[in-house]
Structure 1
Amino acid sequence: MKRDRLITMMEIAIMAGIGGVLSYYVALRLWPQGGSASLAMVPIVILAFRRGWVAGVVCGLLVGLINLMISPYITHPIQVVLDYPLPYALLGLAGWFRPVDEKGAISIKRMGLGVTIAGLARLIPHFISGVVWFGSYAPEGWPVVLYSLCYNASYLVIDVLVTIILMSYLLKKAPQLVASR
């Protein structure tokens, strides 16, 4: 029992480190007020599928904190929570949709649903932060709510699609990565 817990904690630490590196070094940074398309979702959802949603949430929380330490953009303490630890922690919810069942059958649809739901959950705090703290950046004539939605969805859609593509490949080539032991 203790050994399994230790292995899970080690996997969380390793995947959080990988997620932090991927979000910093492998990112498409085209957006002026923050937000970037990266591969940071991949290790978080791998862990969530492998060890469950709780481990995924903890891993995502750590990735968000790593991002906060590496490249912070801070306007308010609540904005920090809404833009860093909370959205990444919500990615762990993908663990609700494990794509490999007890018999070893793989479901690409369940994986895609899990990644999509997790991506939508991540969008919510970013959207709220955008409306409250970054609405002044909206172009003239644009409603702040629409601006925040479009701005945040522009990079999150890329993240979700790339994660689904990579996870589909990984599930076909190495399903043991997401099968819990």
Structure 2
Amino acid sequence: MAQNTLSRTTSDSMRETILATAVGGMAIALSTVLSMIKLFVMPQGGSVTPASMLPILFVALAFGPAWGIGVGAVYGLLQFVVEPYAAHWASIILDYPLAFGLLGLAGFFARPRAERIAERQILHRLSAIKWPMIITAVIVGMLGRTASHLISGVVFYASYAQEAGQNPWIYSLVYNLSYMIPEALITLLILVPLSLAFRKKQ
């Protein structure tokens, strides 16, 4: 009995790993394509897109924070390859793998691991999360990304603030929020209704 339980647990864990890897790969590809569609572009980097962060946030909510952070970090590295922009080598870390990896913090609002593994339909994993929690998860993930960009802006782009006669922290915060807030709103306007729609179909 114990051996059968262990075997089933191992099998479920392997299935979850394969599923998360496959979905994570598709999320990276979709996010990359969406990131190329610019609704608005900032002069020193950053842009508003048609919810390019949504696939990464979905992975975090469907598979948990570890997968969300990992997939986000890989996506961030790919973003640098596709659209490189950096003032210093350290800013590459802050603005790409770390910033996008922190989107995975949304995964801390996912359902418990045992419940996630038991639910094989990944879209149902999203619908199992109440919409206020989804909103909170997106905000936390976006704040994580914003914090990394904020530090990068203060450390490596302070000259722009000095030219404008502003405090570097305030300048960097306003600059980054000017595109992160619209990005978060677009993401929520898609993700929350999507979750509610799949909940009704269950």
- Identical-pair percentage: 34
1:137 alignment partner in structure 2: 160
Matches of 2:183 and 2:175, distance apart in 1: 13
Matched, 1:91 2:103: yes
Listed as ranges, the matches of 1:109-148 within 5 Å are 109-138=132-161, 139-148=163-172
Listed as ranges, the matches of 1:70-109 within 5 Å are 70-98=82-110, 105-109=128-132
- What displacement does 1:99 show? 6.9
1:36 alignment partner in structure 2: 47
Matches of 1:144 and 1:90, distance apart in 2: 22
Unaligned runs of 5+ in 1: none
Matched, 1:166 2:166: no
Query: Do 2:65 and 2:106's aligned partners in 1 also have CA atoms closer than 8 Å?
Result: yes
CA RMSD after TM alignment? 2.3
Unaligned runs of 5+ in 2: 1-10, 116-124
* Total equivalences in the alignment: 176
2:122 alignment partner in structure 1: none
Moved over 4 A (4+): 99-106
- What displacement does 1:105 show? 4.6
Measured against aligned partners, the alpha-carbon deviations of 1:43-76 in whole angstroms (never above 9, x if no partner) come to 0111111111111111111211111011101221
Matches of 1:161 and 1:109, distance apart in 2: 14
- What displacement does 1:136 show? 1.2
Any idea what SS the aligned residue of 2:169 has? Answer: helix
Query: Do 1:131 and 1:148's aligned partners in 2 also have CA atoms closer than 8 Å?
Result: yes
1:19 alignment partner in structure 2: 31
